[in-house]
Amino acid sequence: MTGFILIILVAAAAHGIAALLRLPVIPMYLLGGIALQWVGGNGVQPENWVTAVELGLIFLVFFVGIELNPKRINRQLNAVWRVGLFQFFAVGLLGYLIAYALGYSQIEAIYITFALSASSTLVVVRLLKQRQQMFEPYARLVSGVLLLQDVFIIVILVLLLRSGAGPEAMAWGLGATLLLGMLAWIGHRWLIQLVIVRMRQDEETLLLTVLTTLFIFVGLAHLLELPLAVGAFMGGFVLSAFPVSGIVRGMVSSLSGFFMALFFTALGGLIVIPSLGMLLDGLILGVCLIVITVPLVTWVAERAGISARSAIESGLLLSQTSEFSLILVFHGFLLNQISGELFSLVVLMTAGTMALTPFLSHDRVAIFLMRLHPWVGNRWQLPEDLKDHVVILGYSRAGDYMALPVRDAGCPVVVVDDDPVIVRRLKGMDIHAVAAEASDEKTLKRVHADKARLVIVALRRFSDAAKILKFLKPYKVKVWVRVFDESQAAEIERSGGKAIMGVHKTIERFMEWIKKELPQDDKAGED
């Protein structure tokens, strides 16, 4: 008990230091565990570290399962399969080749392969929630890819752990995993809605129901001789259906933070500092992971119909290793299939890439990479004397309803969108179109937005609209901004723009504007 108390106290101290210094919290937990291992001496027994990791792992994977509702990805299913499969196996293959070239044995290279293949659901979902982007198209794509990867890793985990017992044991493990998955799907699809939503339980009973679901699936995993993490993930998946996930998520969010702290601090206590050569190997693998994942995901996602900006953002969010990578190497370490040094290397690499993700996935990085896109900013071909035109920033669903009528009325129109496919199509329709970041000041200057008759902002991010309004305010240009809630509308009005609620209202107001403004100009031109 003393060992557990020490781990929890160190985790709390690490969290406080990270918050005070504004540092990534996961590396601080690991450092806290390493420090406790060195300083604590006999205060924490070896079995305390392992038990704390297993306990934290069960709850952590359970919370990951709650976040992954398959219904979120229905519209992106084709892209999810293409991006998920290609990324998982292409990154894995490259990881295997790099590991083998660095001199690792076959079993070690296999563990490195699959550790690199999966991305962190924990980190990505938290970032998307903090940025209020969970329901954007690219977020749905990323969520689907994460779900697919997690399922792959669970299957691989079962097969690897049974590989020493022969093909029959591996087949039994695969069958048991499939059976548990079918039970989880039945619970997700039918039973849990009845138990939680329709029975209208009070908060205490609801929490008991949630924990019972976890313990039932962990118990089933134990009976089927599967890793307990597999049962925990399945239990979380049962609760991921809407609206159950929303009810449950708010209830267990604080528990999620506690068990994450316990898990990573205890992992730190198991770390053996690798040799300098192995640390260099980890750096090479981590850099290769990031460098390979971003262009790979971007390339596949664009060919699956995802816009360039969304594809790049997806690649940046997926360019880290996963908590499932840690589960994989933790079990391999316990079974002596890999060394303590390799286990520690993957833990440190995972913590490093997780900590980098918030910085790599920042808007500024995405905008910088957009400028490197082969189609972005290419062949602008805009008249130098362009003025009194209409600028549409973000083509969106309403694009055809706005650009074509303006063109047909004889008024110049310029569309800025980050999707090269849309830009190529518009150019074929004799519409000035530019593939670029619409909120960038250089883009706004090059399309002469400061001389426009009307600027329409139909971008995904409210922050982009605010930047555009700030740039155009000195020029007294009329700016319409599509918004989706009253708070955004009020902010736009305060900033000097005209807020229009929703896509259909934007189209309606724009058609009214065309009837009022453009025919008068045509007559004036004839006189």
The better pLDDT of the pair 142, 131 is held by: 142
> What pLDDT sits at residue 503?
66
pLDDT category at 513 given cuts 50, 70, 90 is confident
Q: Are residues 66 and 196 in the same domain?
A: yes
> What pLDDT sits at residue 201?
62
Contact (Cβ atoms closer than 8 angstroms) between residue 117 and residue 91: yes
Question: CA of 37: how far to CAs of 6, 290, 511, in Å?
Answer: 10, 31, 69
> What pLDDT sits at residue 42?
59
Q: What is the pLDDT of residues 220-255, one digit of tens each?
A: 999 998 989 899 999 988 888 777 777 777 777 777
Q: Among 139-143, 204-208, 264-268, 319-323, whose mean pLDDT is lowest?
A: 204-208
> What pLDDT sits at residue 7?
82
| DSSP, residue by residue, 230-270 | HHHHHHHHHTTSTTHHHHHHHHHHHHHHHHHHHHHHHHHHH
Within a domain: residue 95?
yes
Within a domain: residue 137?
yes
> What pLDDT sits at residue 525?
39
The better pLDDT of the pair 78, 374 is held by: 78
Within a domain: residue 26?
no
User: Could you give the CA distance from residue 209 to residue 465 in angstroms, rounded to a whole number?
Assistant: 44
> What pLDDT sits at residue 522?
44
pLDDT category at 198 given cuts 50, 70, 90 is low
Mean pLDDT (the chain) is 82
- Whether the pLDDT of residue 524 is over 50: the answer is no
Instruction: Return the half-sphere exposure (C-beta side, CA atoms, 13 A cut-off) of residue 123.
Output: 28
User: Could you give the CA distance from residue 373 to residue 389 in angstroms, rounded to a whole number?
Assistant: 27
Domain end call among 371, 401, 429: 371
> What pLDDT sits at residue 273?
82
> What pLDDT sits at residue 183?
92
Domain end call among 349, 371, 393: 371
Q: Are residues 262 and 232 in the same domain?
A: yes
- Whether the pLDDT of residue 323 is over 70: the answer is yes
> What pLDDT sits at residue 178?
93
Domain end call among 371, 389, 424: 371
Within a domain: residue 86?
yes
| DSSP, residue by residue, 487-517 | HHHHHHHHTT-EEEESHHHHHHHHHHHHHHH
The strand pair at 432-435 and 454-457 is best described as unpaired
Within a domain: residue 31?
no
Q: Among 1-5, 9-13, 22-26, 466-470, whose mean pLDDT is lowest?
A: 1-5
- Whether the pLDDT of residue 182 is over 90: the answer is yes
Q: What is the pLDDT of residues 30-77, one digit of tens each?
A: 888 888 888 765 566 767 778 888 888 888 888 888 888 777 666 677
Q: Are residues 422 and 298 in the same domain?
A: no
Q: Are residues 212 and 261 in the same domain?
A: yes
User: Could you give the CA distance from residue 250 to residue 236 in angstroms, rounded to a whole number?
Assistant: 14
Q: Are residues 385 and 281 in the same domain?
A: no
Q: Are residues 366 and 455 in the same domain?
A: no
- Whether the pLDDT of residue 111 is over 80: the answer is yes
**For the chain, how many structural domains are there in total?**
2
Q: Among 23-32, 79-88, 166-175, whose mean pLDDT is lowest?
A: 23-32
- Whether the pLDDT of residue 411 is over 80: the answer is yes
- Whether the pLDDT of residue 260 is over 50: the answer is yes
Q: Return the CATH number at 452.
A: 3.40.50.720
- Whether the pLDDT of residue 105 is over 70: the answer is yes
Q: Are residues 193 and 108 in the same domain?
A: yes
pLDDT category at 218 given cuts 50, 70, 90 is very high
The single residue listed with the structure tokens 């499932």 is 324
% the chain with pLDDT above 90: 9
Q: Are residues 322 and 447 in the same domain?
A: no
Within a domain: residue 34?
no
Q: How far is CA 38 from the centre of its chain?
A: 35
Q: In this structure, which amino acid lies at residue 384?
A: E
Q: Are residues 233 and 312 in the same domain?
A: yes
Within a domain: residue 291?
yes
Structural domain of residue 501, as residue ranges?
379-526
Cβ neighbours around 319 below 10 Å, total? 24
Which H or E run includes 26?
A: helix 25-40
Burial 499-524 (b: 16+ CB within 10 A, else e): bbeeeeebbebbeebbeeebeeeeee
Reduced 3-state DSSP string for 48-115:
HHHHHHHHHHHHHHHHHHHCCCHHHHHHHHHHHHHHHHHHHHHHHHHHHHHHHHCCCCHHHHHHHHHH
Q: Return the CATH number at 325.
A: 1.20.1530.20
Within a domain: residue 358?
yes
Query: What's the token pair of residue 381?
Result: 């071909």
Q: Among 111-120, 149-158, 373-382, 425-434, whose mean pLDDT is lowest?
A: 373-382
Q: Which residues pair with 414 in a beta bridge?
A: 391, 432
Q: Are residues 266 and 166 in the same domain?
A: yes
Q: Are residues 383 and 367 in the same domain?
A: no
Q: Are residues 213 and 289 in the same domain?
A: yes
User: Could you give the CA distance from residue 176 to residue 190 in angstroms, rounded to a whole number?
Assistant: 21
